[in-house]
């Protein structure tokens, strides 16, 4: 396994729409394992392949307190259950140090392939639902900062651009 580099906003590669995985082979299994290792090391509770500059529809999540309940979702498709929306504070490994309130469907059904390529369906709410929706947004080239005002988003962009310039000196 290997730690992968996580792209940071406003890197334009984060806006790339991911392509479906056509076969769950050894390269996809290695990608998922490396993504889990990277997510835990960051530390985070979710990571999309887009964030590590691999533009395939793969996400990993683990919202357990102990960090011992990993989920691999390949080609995830989300369907909201009901009309209830929930607001929660979100952060992102690609937007380090920033948290904003985002409104999302409270309950979802997700259909995906697991790390072995076996289809499954999961219904969830709470942090798991928020995390999966957040990561699927990444696969679609969307970031949580897209849900906030342009003024706040530009402020975050400028601060991160400045920190990137400072870090590369």
* Per-residue pLDDT reduced to its tens digit, 29-41: 999 999 999 999 9
Q: Is 92 annotated as a binding residue?
A: yes
Round to whole Å and give the CA distance between 133 and 139: 10
User: What residue segments make up the domains of the chain, in order of their start?
Assistant: 10-166
Q: Which of 37, 106, 135, 161 is catalytic?
A: 135
Task: Indicate the pTM of the whole model.
Answer: 0.96
Q: Is 138 annotated as a binding residue?
A: yes
Does the domain at 10-166 match CATH 3.90.45.10? Answer given as yes
Tell me: pLDDT of 148 over 70.
yes
Active-site residue, 87 included: no
pLDDT at 123: 98
pLDDT at 167: 77
Contact present, 90 and 100 (Cβ < 8 Å): yes
Contact present, 42 and 5 (Cβ < 8 Å): no
Q: Is 55 annotated as a binding residue?
A: no
Over pLDDT 90: what percentage of the chain? 95
Round to whole Å and give the CA distance between 72 and 164: 31
């Amino acid at each position: 396994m290997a730690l992968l580099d996580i792209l940071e906003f406003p890197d334009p590669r984060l806006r790339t729409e991911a392509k479906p995985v056509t076969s769950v082979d050894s390269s996809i299994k290695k990608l998922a394992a490396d993504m889990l290792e990277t997510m835990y090391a960051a530390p985070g509770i979710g990571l999309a392949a887009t964030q590590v500059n691999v533009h395939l529809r793969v996400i990993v999540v683990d919202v357990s307190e102990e960090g011992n309940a990993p989920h691999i979702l390949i080609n995830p498709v989300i369907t909201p259950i009901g009309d209830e929306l929930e607001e929660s504070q979100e952060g992102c490994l690609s937007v380090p140090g920033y948290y904003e309130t985002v409104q999302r469907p409270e309950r979802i059904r997700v259909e995906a392939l697991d790390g072995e390529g076996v289809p499954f369906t999961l219904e969830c709410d709470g942090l798991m639902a928020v995390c999966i929706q957040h990561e699927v947004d990444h696969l679609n080239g969307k970031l949580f900062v897209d849900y906030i005002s342009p003024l706040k988003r530009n402020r975050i962009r400028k601060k991160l651009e400045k920190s990137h310039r400072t870090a590369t000196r």
